[in-house]
Amino acid sequence: MNAMAESAYALLQARAARIATLGEASAMLGWDSSAMMPPGGAASRGDQIAVLYGLMHELGTAPEVADWLDRAEAAPPEGAWDRANLALMRRGHTRATAVDASLVEATARANSACEKVWREARALSDFAMVADSLAEVVRLARENAAALSARLGMSPYDALMDGYQHGITASDVAPVFAQYETFLERALPRALELQAARPAPLKPTGPFAVATQEELCRRLSAAAGLDYDHARLDRSVHPFCGGTRTDVRITTRYDEADFAQALMGVMHETGHALYERGLPEAWARQPVGEAAGMGVHESQSLIIEMQACRSDAYLTWLAPILRQSFGNDPAFVPANLGALWRRVSRGFIRVDADEMTYPAHVILRFRLEQALISGDLAVADLPGAWNDGMQALLGITPPNDAKGCLQDIHWYDGAFGYFPSYTLGAMGAAQLMGAARRELPGLDGELALGNLGALTGWLRPRIHNKGSLLGYNDLLLAATGKTLDPTDFQNHLVSRYLAG
């Protein structure tokens, strides 16, 4: 790398760090708006976030950046990490310059405003209340998608997906989802039949004090490896993980009648947080130091929540802790907890769904958001289309909008193209767990002690520390010996739900 190219690359690194720092500030404002901000702050908060997005866009698309990229690429750096970083800078610049700054700010404002209306509409189960706001969000999403599509040479929906998991398109996902839908048609009735033949699991008797739940959630997430010198646990309408690598914010919601919702939600978000905490420190605030995409992120949350924390081994450790926290309820024995928390049902709510039916919820959203972006589905027709889709996939129809198309925050916050990542993550988690078990024959013994360190220690060098050096399939190939293989997930489900 000659001196001129080296200088240009150094300037790009400095600019990337500045943009990333503004992104961190925006992330903290976003967390605050969901967890702490009073309702009256919504309008000004939308302006604050919009201005930050505008500044980030201006910095990333300034004329000098294109010149720096050209100069740096003329004599690329020698190291693999630097080369990947430069390539990601080019990709980010291409995406950023495809969209005008005015559209970026307008989108941020519309998303923020719609999200606030959604909160009230969801509480009242009234889609009509948020329909106009969502229509504006969808209109702007289409504008963004069209601009990105023209620049990237891919379909508008693929251009949106590319922003969440690079290298995976709708044509990659559609056959995987179709294959799973076929599997589910056979597997779900059989799982329900086997389940019905067994005694119904005992349900723990509440109420379960929120303060006790919160203390337990904090204890379990800390035991999983979350360092609370660099993390917080708070409450929000929709559980999420946000903040920054050194200041991770996770949230959950509590139900005094059912502590499992909060507990497993926190372990899910802890998986996200552990990934963020494990990203390569040497590449902080550089594109290559960021997470490798939302499919990868979901694989890290689901390997903790679904693969580890719902395993027989982990429940052996957890059962006595539940008795300590909530009393000597006969439901708190490992076998009963397994039957209770690995119970299959045809439910309305995605975040409460079991791992067999969960992909059906994602398949529905994948199809609907493609139709919204293409214009084949009008926003006003969303509730009906949602209900029809749920009936076709799971044989149930939501009784109201809160249990239907209002249940998720994503579309109301402008996140189109995100949903496929959930099921890509579930499939990746099963594939990674299979590889971890093969390489760590004592893994179940560690989980029976409540020790997730062996698992996270296996993930750290293979996934977390890699940042965005590799794409999803290359990460899986390096860690497991093959690219994404959906049959690993199906085999996991057969073993867990269809054996016996």
> What residue ranges do the domains of the chain occupy?
3-162, 170-497
Chain length of the chain: 500
Burial class (CB in 10 A: 0-12, 13-18, 19+), 49: buried
Count of C-beta atoms within a 10 Å radius of residue 437 = 15
**Facing residues of 235 across strands?**
252
Catalytic residue among 105, 269, 355, 369: 269
Per-residue pLDDT of the chain (500 residues; tens, 9 = 90+): 677 767 999 999 999 999 999 999 999 999 999 899 998 998 898 889 989 998 999 999 999 999 999 999 999 999 999 999 999 999 999 999 999 889 988 999 999 999 999 999 999 999 999 999 999 999 999 999 999 999 999 999 999 999 999 888 999 999 999 999 999 999 999 999 999 999 999 999 989 999 999 999 999 999 999 999 999 999 998 789 999 999 999 999 999 999 999 999 999 999 999 999 999 999 999 999 999 999 999 999 999 999 999 999 999 999 999 999 999 999 999 999 999 999 999 999 998 899 999 999 999 999 999 999 999 999 999 999 999 999 999 999 999 999 999 999 999 999 999 999 999 999 999 999 999 999 999 999 999 999 999 999 999 999 999 999 999 999 999 999 999 999 999 999 999 999 86
* C-alpha–C-alpha distance, residues 8 and 92, integer Å: 16
Which pLDDT does position 86 carry in this prediction?
Answer: 98
Which pLDDT does position 3 carry in this prediction?
Answer: 75
* C-alpha–C-alpha distance, residues 278 and 467, integer Å: 9
Which residues, in sequence order, are CB contacts of 80 under 8 Å at separation 6+? 469
* C-alpha–C-alpha distance, residues 142 and 278, integer Å: 35
In degrees and rounded to multiples of 5, residue 129 shows phi and psi of: -60, -35
3-state secondary structure of 252: strand
Which pLDDT does position 215 carry in this prediction?
Answer: 97
The token duo for 389 is 């889709």
Question: Residue 242, by phi and psi: left (phi above 0), alpha (psi -120 to 50) or beta?
Answer: beta
Which residues, in sequence order, are CB contacts of 195 under 8 Å at separation 6+? 343, 344, 497
Distances (CA, A) of 357 to 237, 333, 344, 360: 23, 25, 7, 5
The token duo for 399 is 């009784």
- 24 counts as catalytic: no
Which pLDDT does position 291 carry in this prediction?
Answer: 97
Tell me which CATH code domain 170-497 carries.
1.10.1370.30
**Facing residues of 243 across strands?**
248
Which pLDDT does position 210 carry in this prediction?
Answer: 97
**Facing residues of 233 across strands?**
250
Asked if 239 contacts 351 with a C-beta cutoff of 8 angstroms, the reply is: yes
CA angle 303, 304, 309 (to 5 degrees): 115
Strand 241-244 relative to strand 247-252: parallel, antiparallel, unpaired?
antiparallel
* 28 residue type, one letter: M
The token duo for 270 is 């802890």
pTM comes to 0.90
In degrees and rounded to multiples of 5, residue 408 shows phi and psi of: -105, 145
- Pick from 219, 228, 211, 315: which is nearest to 277 by CA? 228
- Pick from 421, 464, 436: which is nearest to 167 by CA? 421
Asked if 271 contacts 300 with a C-beta cutoff of 8 angstroms, the reply is: yes
Count of C-beta atoms within a 10 Å radius of residue 438 = 11
* C-alpha–C-alpha distance, residues 341 and 258, integer Å: 12
- Pick from 1, 172, 169, 20: which is nearest to 92 by CA? 20
* C-alpha–C-alpha distance, residues 382 and 371, integer Å: 10
Q: Which long-range contacts (CB under 8 A, 24 or more apart) does 490-497 make?
A: 490/180, 490/183, 490/187, 491/430, 492/307, 492/430, 492/433, 492/434, 493/187, 493/355, 493/356, 494/187, 496/342, 497/187, 497/191, 497/194, 497/195, 497/342, 497/344, 497/356
